[in-house]
């Protein structure tokens, strides 16, 4: 299963962190590039994170 998040604010970052630290099975999490600082931090912290080029790539 792939997951996607549009927007990378504090709430999305908390949810993504919770998912990554849980036993939930997923292939990758695609996140919005909207907040580059948070997006890059999540990508560095978790190996299954992919930063999309734009929001359309997440829903497409």
Give per-residue pLDDT as tens, 7-41: 999 999 999 999 999 999 999 999 999 999 999 99
Residue of 35, 57, 47, 58 lying closest to 13 (CA atoms): 35
Is the confidence at residue 44, as pLDDT, over 90?
A: yes
Q: What is the pLDDT of residue 56?
A: 93
pTM listed for this prediction = 0.90
Residue 26 CA to residue 34 CA, distance in Å, equals 22
Average pLDDT (28-55) is 97
Q: Which domain holds residue 25?
A: 2-59
| pLDDT at position 60 over 90 | no
Give the count of domains, the chain: 1
Contact status, residue 39 vs residue 51, Cβ threshold 8 Å: yes
Q: What is the pLDDT of residue 22?
A: 97
């Amino acid at each position: 299963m792939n997951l996607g998040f549009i927007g990378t604010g504090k709430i999305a970052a908390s949810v993504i962190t919770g998912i990554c630290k849980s036993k939930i099975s997923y292939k990758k999490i695609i996140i919005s590039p909207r907040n580059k600082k948070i997006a890059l931090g999540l990508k560095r912290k978790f190996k299954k994170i992919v930063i999309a080029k734009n929001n359309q790539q997440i829903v497409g």
